[in-house]
Amino acid sequence: MKTVINLVLAICVVALIYICYGSIMGPINFEKEKGIREKAIITRLIDIRKAQQEYRTMHHGAYTDNFDTLIAFVKTAKLPFIMKVGTLTDDQLNSGMTEQKAMDLINKAKRTGNWSEVEKQGLKDFRRDTMWVAVMDTIFEKGFNPDSLPYVPYGGGAKFQMQARRDTLESGMPLNLFQANVDYDVYLKGLNEQELNNLKDVQSKIGKYCGLKVGDIEQPNNNAGNWE
């Protein structure tokens, strides 16, 4: 009988130790895995932001809410890059010379073959040439796969939600906004359910979005991420 009691007590002690260990390590393991997953997701959201910002410069300030459109842009678009040779001196600037005026004189000389005015203005070695560089080679690292943009890391094939807004303020100024986001439930699925519920409860109580997002569809925020 005594042996049975001791055995039961031993089992209870082991169970208690296991419960205590779980209560301590559960939140620690959850935060560790959450950090790993969020690091990958933040990197992807930053890539989406880069692509959207370049898309906007080529589309009259507007963003897109369609990933297929954004991917096609990244794969095929080229951005203007101005190669500068020479600078205007203080004397030239004080006399009213600007880069645009300088280039107008140079372009006129190219058309007419008369370089006397260019030489007179001291612009012989002044150049501003526009080159077109592929988006892929400009804003992303070598080997980047644009087809990966819509997909949430650790999301099991899930895609980010993406929205774009084009509006006009009362002042008449254009308002262009975009947002890309993913809920905790998508990328933290499979982790400690109680810790996940605790996280969502805290975020909800302080009025924060339960997940990660970049940009904001409701108000301008300079396309910041909610982790920044």
Give the predicted TM-score (pTM) of the model: 0.75
Residue 225 falls within a domain, yes or no?
A: no
Residue 47 falls within a domain, yes or no?
A: no
> Cβ distance 153 to 46 under 8 Å?
no
DSSP state of 209: -
Range of 99's domain? 87-125
Q: What is the pLDDT of residues 94-131, one digit of tens each?
A: 889 998 899 899 999 999 999 999 899 999 888 888 87
Cβ atoms within 10 Å, residue 93: 12
What is the tally of structural domains in the chain? 1
Structure tokens at 71: 């991917």
Residue 73 falls within a domain, yes or no?
A: no
Nearest-angstrom CA–CA distance, 93 and 107 = 19
Residue 131 falls within a domain, yes or no?
A: no
What three-state secondary structure class fits 227?
coil
> Cβ distance 175 to 165 under 8 Å?
yes
Provide DSSP, 11-63.
HHHHHHHHHHHHHHHHHHHHHHHHHHHHHHHHHHHHHHHHHHHHHHHHTTT--
**Distances in Å between the alpha carbon of 75 and those of 102, 149, 198, 221?**
35, 12, 41, 27
Residue 105 falls within a domain, yes or no?
A: yes
Structure tokens at 117: 């005015």
> Cβ distance 46 to 144 under 8 Å?
no
Nearest-angstrom CA–CA distance, 74 and 57 = 13
Residue 102 falls within a domain, yes or no?
A: yes
Q: How many Å separate Cα 6 from the centre of its chain?
A: 61
pLDDT in tens, the chain (228 residues): 556 555 555 454 444 444 444 555 568 899 999 999 999 999 999 999 999 999 998 999 999 999 999 999 999 988 787 788 888 888 888 889 998 899 899 999 999 999 999 899 999 888 888 878 888 888 888 888 999 999 999 999 999 999 999 998 888 889 999 999 999 999 999 999 999 999 999 999 999 999 999 999 999 999 999 999
Q: Backbone dihedral region of 211: left (phi > 0), alpha (psi from -120 to 50 degrees) or beta?
A: left
Residue 197 falls within a domain, yes or no?
A: no
Nearest-angstrom CA–CA distance, 20 and 207 = 32
Nearest-angstrom CA–CA distance, 109 and 101 = 12
Structure tokens at 93: 């600037």
